[in-house]
Structure 1
Amino acid sequence: MSKEIEEKLDRIPVLNILVSILRKIKLPGLEGLSIYDLMEMYIVGIINGALTSRAGSIAFSFFMAIFPSLLFLLNLLPYVPIDGFQGSFIRAITSLLPDESGNFMNEIIVDIVKNKRGGLLSSTFLLSIFLMANGVSAIFAGFETSYYILKKRRFFQQYLYALGVGLILALLLISTVIVLGYTEIYIVRISDFAVKTTGFKISQTNEFWITIAKFSFLIVMVYLGTAILYYFGTHQGRRAKFFSPGALLTTVLIVLTSYLFGIYIANFSQYNELYGSIGALLILMMYIWLNANILLLGFELNASLDMLRIKKETS
């Protein structure tokens, strides 16, 4: 690793002891490389990789893609002939957002769902595909700007990859919403049937475990989507395992950040008081930007691990 950095750290009291301990802890699967080696490469990659600028580009592209895609899905809802599905879908969408953004979006969603607009389906479908591909392409461009990515794809090749991955992620998202929606519908039906036939009511303990199961499924879907992005995002991505440490780190941080961000918005933020309904859009934009940073942090971890392997093989 960098001798200059190591020499500077060795001169700092207390920190040099911590560095010495980290050098002795070897990482499995990296042929003797230590936690210190990984941390050094990871931090250097983040500092030299202009992380927040790349996250801003990704956040803007996805913010542009969200509304046409959501509009397309919502315009499909009036045509779904399943009792209770529309309400379950709305609850599933708004539950993924912070409270202020969820309340703002709920009014718009209800209005769209109540009125059939067949003419919007084709236009929103095409626009959502175009902007979705742009959003995924922005993610891939953010990956390729990493300090440790040496080989880059050509523009059209990257856009084709982005389109394919975007369609996969769209199917993953639709499947997630359908599963969560159907689960809620059938739990309500089973509960009503049990009350009518046997008088049995679902206890708070059972409700707790049902909620845990739903969130566990959602976390698995987030992990799977993240793993897909990392695996197909760059040429070097497929050298690593599909289920990578970076995808795990990203999933954990997204869950943690979403929870803490929701608490912050509910208790401390004054965006809604200052800006009115526009504040909900600012909150949504900030939430996307935070997750874009997290997505890049996970990718940098994978890129650092890959670079460590390359250096070990060539040394």
Structure 2
Amino acid sequence: MEDAKGRNAEAPKEIPAAGWKQVMLRVKEQLATDNISIVAAGVAFYFFLALFPTLAAIISIYGLVTSPAEVEQQMEQLTSVLPPEAHDMLTERLRNIAQQSSSSLGWGALLGIVLSLWSANSGTKSLFEGINIAYDEENDRSFLKLNAITLLFTLGGIILGSLCVALVVAFPAIIEHLGLPDWLETVLQLGRWVLLIVFIMGALALIYKVAPKRNNPKFRWVSWGSAMATGLWLLGSLLFSYYVNNFGNYSETYGSVAAVIILMLWFNLTSFIILLGAEINSELEHQTAKDTTVGKEKPLGERNAYHADHVAGDPGDEQKSEK
């Protein structure tokens, strides 16, 4: 009856419903045990510090190939889904950046990248630490190795952000100038959002593979958490925006800093969902006895990855709730 719970599953899709139930129950338990809400708050703080330098870098790079007025107009699309307070604050800051001269934008891009790397790298390291906690691993990388990896991911995040901006704000203008049939233009406009979702899922999958200090899991064992986290993030962001717009009284409570509070809460939500995806992935690996790591097949106990080396409920499985 072992297969009834997915002990011999080669991929998450082979885990039956009873096994998925066990996985989700453990995820719920580990969210509390690992203090994921507290870790997410720390990650959110550091990423908030990096927000405006990162935006400056992205917009400065984008501004090198288009006019400042066009940057300002098109960036409105990115902030239109945010609650009014956050939208107004970001719009004002984006306008100030976009209205700089082309030469200033060039230097602004360099300075913005340096500042964002300095501040965002702390957030990236916090995120890596949270993911290691979710995977029950000790992040004992050396100082140089850890910072090299996190800086690479931070820079990659800025580049990916620039690509996403181009996809969201520049792609529609390109399509419009091509003079395509209406039906094809509609398909392409919808396709850009699908591509954006794929970008996000791919980025999360890469983070889940590299962040834990262990033998890398196979892609199939990080793809499910990536997909779930992406879907939950999109849904959560929409619901959060709806709540703030219709029920929240942040302006009355916090006054002039309401926008800051709202953005911090949104970053906290984002960080929590990313760490939730890591917990889902780790507990999926914890459900099977099959080798979930890349490379040659190895027996239990020799895979250099806690959740790949242990099956939930087996003797010797010391889930970190007992640490």
Q: Is this a same-fold pair by TM over 0.5?
A: yes
Shift of 1:308: 3.0
TM-score norm. by structure 1 comes to: 0.78
Partner of residue 262, structure 1: 241
8 A contact 1:88–1:181 mirrored in 2: no
In the other structure, the counterpart of 1:229 is 207
Q: Does 1:129 align with 2:125?
A: no
The structure richer in helix per residue is 1
Counterpart residue type for residue 106 of structure 1: T
CA contact 1:246–1:301 (8 Å) conserved in 2: yes
**TM value normalised by structure 2:** 0.76
Q: Which stretch shifts more, 208-217 or 261-270?
A: 208-217
Q: Distance in 2 between matches of 1:218 and 1:24?
A: 37
The question of whether the paired residues in 1 share the 8 Å contact of 2:72 and 2:94 is answered with no
Matched, 1:248 2:236: no
Corresponding residue of 2:194: 216
1-side partners of 2:273 and 2:5: how far apart? 26
1:285 is displaced (CA, Å) by: 0.6
Q: CA distance change for structure 1 residues 255 and 169 in 2, over 3 Å: closer, same or farther?
A: same
**Structure 2 SS opposite 1:163:** helix
Q: How far apart are the structure 1 equivalents of 2:63 and 2:33?
A: 49
Residues 27 and 279 in structure 2, CA contact (< 8 A), matched pair in contact too? yes
Task: Confirm or deny: 8 A CA contact 1:45 1:304 kept in the other structure.
Answer: no
Paired-residue identity, %: 23
- Do the aligned residues in 2 keep the contact of 1:246 with 1:299 (CA within 8 Å)? yes
Q: Please, which runs of 5 or more residues in structure 1 have no aligned partner?
A: 1-22, 195-199
- Note closer, same or farther for the CA distance 1:50–1:81 as it changes in structure 2 (3 Å cut): closer
Query: What's 1:297 paired with?
Result: 276
Which residue of 2 is the match for residue 9 of structure 1? none
Larger radius of gyration: 1
1:293 match: secondary structure: helix
Output the CA distance in 1 between the equivalents of 2:172 and 2:15: 49
Tell me the equivalent position of 2:310.
Answer: 311
Structure 2: runs of 5 or more not aligned: 289-308, 316-323
Match of 2:149 in 1: 161
How many equivalent pairs are there?
A: 283
C-alpha RMSD of the superposition = 3.1
- Call closer, same or farther: CA 1:306–1:155 in 2, change over 3 Å: farther
For 1:186 and 1:312, the matched residues in 2 are separated by 52
Describe the SS at the equivalent of 2:219. coil
Match of 2:302 in 1: none
Alignment of 1:81-230 (within 5 A): 81=66, 85-87=70-72, 89-95=74-80, 97-116=82-101, 117=104, 120-146=108-134, 148-150=136-138, 152-190=140-178, 202=182, 209=187, 211-230=189-208
Would the aligned equivalents of 1:253 and 1:294 in 2 still touch at CA under 8 Å? yes
